[in-house]
Amino acid sequence: MDYNALSELLFPQITKTPEYFEEKYPPRQLKEGARVTRFAPSPTGYLHIGGLFGALTDVMTAKATGGVSYLRIEDTDKKREINDGVSAIINGFDAFGVGFDEGVTGFGTEDGAYGPYTQSQRVEIYQTVAKSLVKQGLAYPCFCSAEELSAMRETQEKEGTAIWGYFGKWAKCRDLTFDEIKAKIEAGQPYVLRFRADGSEDKKVIFEDIIRGKIEMPENIIDEVLLKSDGVPTYHFAHVCDDHFMRTTHVIRGEEWISSVPKHIALFKACGYKVPKYAHTPQVMKIDEEDGTKRKLSKRKDPEAAVSYFVEKGFPKESVLEYLVTLLNSNFEDWRRANPTADVFDFPFNLKKMNASGCLFDLVKLTDVSKNVISVMNAQKVYSLVEKWASVYDKDFHKLLTSDAEYATDILNIDRENPKPRKDISQWSQVRDYVAYFYDELYTPDYTMPANISAEDAKAVLSKYLEVYSAEDDKDTWFAKIKEMCEPLGFTPNVKEYKKNPDAYKGHVGDISTVLRIAATSRTNTPDLYMIMKLLGEDKLKARINNTIENL
């Protein structure tokens, strides 16, 4: 067979050679040990939390080694592609501050010297490499129709062959002659281009997965499709060309690709490329609420599978990143304790320390992490993040907040910026309810008093408080007054004393505070009551207390 003539017959339009692209995309000049990683999603218009997790792995690996991470869009599968499926992915990364060094930056925009970074714009590269494979006898056209292929699969199934696919005696087009091929092409028969595999079923390919260690699998024997009948490459072929010409050193991707590695190694070798290092990341799992089993986070069943869920609920990006990195490397928490204020991207991430057996995504844990993260933000930061969130997701609340930004910031400052800040906000969508009693527009009074306090006693407490109240009191004076109220009303200022002798009193100072708290806020649990009363102001506070007295 004259392979050269065959390559010209199949690719008359291709005039470049692989050498051209070798020169155009030279090896990167990076320091020893620097890793080049890529995140390579299909443009589905949806960013799964596992995608954010994978992208973090890429970005942090590159950062920790002084390397480069880039974003490549793999859009050769037209069936899955949606119109502008890129923006949702990019917006998802932006929302969480995950930035790549190179690659696609938006719908139709990109940055970097190794582009284009969108596969549909790289067809000339794939076809150039494909032509060169044909020239070396390493690829051939296959004219089998979809019907023939499914008939083949059915027979294989019936015969119970160990491996299904296009190989060996099943590979009918493998040995067509030049004239047969030419005749079919001239007759307008569609064809795909297949790889001429030279692996052997009883030989092993061994590779080192950075996360999983040594993996051994049978060599690839399948004549995989490289180019589909429209000349567009399959994922298998496209990513090999891209990872080579983009000079990727480390292919980090989901574990569902492990079984394809023998095929990929065979392709890298056939093309004459260095095989990259592999790291197959574990799936993001959850415990099913219903049956308690561990399963993959599902796009269909779990709203939290979509990164947009966290944006809509108003989880700060810091919280989500912080939590995801604890899942990536278990030593992150120690590092965080030693470096409480450091940027999460300064963490010396290590692929080797990733856990190979699925990582468990736990919304409750994330919520706790988020409470911690938010508790150490200052009030200005909290205000500006809530304001930004509400401007999109809660417009009415946004109006209230911004009508008096100073008031709102003062509210958010209660029990904050001290060594033991309150930890009760995990997401911005909670803030409306959290601050509701500060705004008449959001306030619904509820005068229900605790069961151990009679209406008469509650009224007496409130009336007495109105007598002693002064807007000028500092916190100590305020509290001293509350304690002084206790005994004349039959309560004790001393909680220990009350516990020793409960029958001697109607209650203790805590009960008095509760009555006041309910009158002021309609809640039994709030941040610092002194500050709340101060911010409500004399008029509003007195009005609420009077209302409570009337309604008891």
Count of residues near ligand GLU by CB under 6 A: 8
Task: Tell me the per-residue interface mask from 135 to 174 with ligand GLU, x by CB under 6 A, - otherwise.
Answer: ----------------------------------------
Rounded to the nearest whole angstrom, what is the least distance from the CB of residue 326 to ligand GLU in the complex? 23
User: Residues with Cβ < 8 Å from 506, sequence gap 6 or more?
Assistant: 453, 457, 489, 490, 491
User: Residues with Cβ < 8 Å from 46, sequence gap 6 or more?
Assistant: 85, 88, 89, 299, 306
Rounded to the nearest whole angstrom, what is the least distance from the CB of residue 53 to ligand GLU in the complex? 13
Select the span of 23-31, 35-43, 125-133, 543-551 touching ligand GLU (CB under 6 A). 35-43
Nearer to ligand GLU, 25 or 257 (CB): 257
Q: Which residue is nearest to ligand GLU (CB)?
A: 253
Nearer to ligand GLU, 71 or 130 (CB): 71
Nearer to ligand GLU, 122 or 253 (CB): 253
In what order do the strands lie in the sheet containing 102-106? 109-111, 102-106, 68-71, 36-39, 250-254, 277-281, 204-209, 213-218
Rounded to the nearest whole angstrom, what is the least distance from the CB of residue 143 to ligand GLU in the complex? 28
Task: Tell me the per-residue interface mask from 176 to 215 with ligand GLU, x by CB under 6 A, - otherwise.
Answer: ----------------------------------------
Rounded to the nearest whole angstrom, what is the least distance from the CB of residue 45 to ligand GLU in the complex? 13
Rounded to the nearest whole angstrom, what is the least distance from the CB of residue 230 to ligand GLU in the complex? 19
CA distance 397 to 325: 32
Nearer to ligand GLU, 81 or 223 (CB): 81
Question: Which residue among 7, 42, 132, 514 contacts ligand GLU (CB under 6 A)?
Answer: 42
DSSP of 514-526, one letter per residue? HHHHHHHHS-SS-
Question: Which residue among 6, 10, 36, 40 contacts ligand GLU (CB under 6 A)?
Answer: 40
One-letter amino acid for residue 529 of the chain: L
176 — alpha (psi -120 to 50), left (phi > 0) or beta? Answer: beta
Rounded to the nearest whole angstrom, what is the least distance from the CB of residue 38 to ligand GLU in the complex? 7
Rounded to the nearest whole angstrom, what is the least distance from the CB of residue 253 to ligand GLU in the complex? 3
Least Cα distance to 62 among 101, 17, 109, 9 occurs for 101
Nearer to ligand GLU, 257 or 407 (CB): 257
Query: Judged by CB under 6 A, does residue 48 bind ligand GLU?
Result: no
Rounded to the nearest whole angstrom, what is the least distance from the CB of residue 50 to ligand GLU in the complex? 10
Within residues 253-292, the interface with ligand GLU by CB under 6 A covers 253, 257
Question: Which residue among 239, 280, 286, 517 contacts ligand GLU (CB under 6 A)?
Answer: 239
Sign for the CA dihedral angle at 348, 261, 219, 271 comes to negative
The token pair at 195 is 């790889």
Nearer to ligand GLU, 235 or 439 (CB): 235
Select the span of 36-44, 181-189, 202-210, 388-396 touching ligand GLU (CB under 6 A). 36-44
Nearer to ligand GLU, 247 or 542 (CB): 247
358 — alpha (psi -120 to 50), left (phi > 0) or beta? Answer: left
One-letter amino acid for residue 102 of the chain: E
Nearer to ligand GLU, 10 or 62 (CB): 62
Nearer to ligand GLU, 51 or 493 (CB): 51
With beta carbons less than 8 A apart as the criterion, state whether 354 and 327 touch: no
Least Cα distance to 266 among 226, 230, 231 occurs for 226
Rg of the chain over all Cα atoms, to the nearest angstrom: 33
Select the span of 39-47, 108-116, 286-294, 511-519 touching ligand GLU (CB under 6 A). 39-47
With beta carbons less than 8 A apart as the criterion, state whether 378 and 384 touch: no
DSSP of 379-447, one letter per residue? HHHHHHHHHHHHHHH-HHHHHHHHHTHHHHHHHHTTT-SSSS-----SSGGGHHHHTGGG-GGG-----
User: Residues with Cβ < 8 Å from 124, sequence gap 6 or more?
Assistant: 14, 16
Rounded to the nearest whole angstrom, what is the least distance from the CB of residue 73 to ligand GLU in the complex? 9
Task: Tell me the per-residue interface mask from 66 to 105 with ligand GLU, x by CB under 6 A, - otherwise.
Answer: --------x-------------------------------
Torsion angle defined by CA atoms of residues 181, 183, 187 and 190, in that order, rounded to the nearest 10 degrees: 0
Rounded to the nearest whole angstrom, what is the least distance from the CB of residue 36 to ligand GLU in the complex? 13
User: How many other C-beta atoms can be found within 10 angstroms of the C-beta atom of residue 304?
Assistant: 15
Select the span of 40-48, 336-344, 430-438, 484-492 touching ligand GLU (CB under 6 A). 40-48
Least Cα distance to 445 among 436, 456, 457, 435 occurs for 436
CA distance 204 to 220: 9
Count the helices and strands in the chain (H runs, E runs).
23, 16
Question: Which residue among 11, 36, 41, 132 contacts ligand GLU (CB under 6 A)?
Answer: 41
Nearer to ligand GLU, 85 or 527 (CB): 85
Rounded to the nearest whole angstrom, what is the least distance from the CB of residue 529 to ligand GLU in the complex? 53
| Residue 364: Cβ-neighbour burial (10 angstroms; 0-12, 13-18, 19+) | exposed
Sign for the CA dihedral angle at 367, 372, 377, 383 comes to positive
Q: What Å distances lie between residue 535 and 235, 407, 434, 436, 532, CA to CA? A: 61, 8, 15, 13, 5
Rounded to the nearest whole angstrom, what is the least distance from the CB of residue 72 to ligand GLU in the complex? 8
Nearer to ligand GLU, 248 or 492 (CB): 248
Least Cα distance to 236 among 218, 260, 252 occurs for 260
CA distance 128 to 133: 9
Nearer to ligand GLU, 114 or 143 (CB): 114
Residues near ligand GLU (CB under 6 A) are 40-42, 74, 235, 239, 253, 257
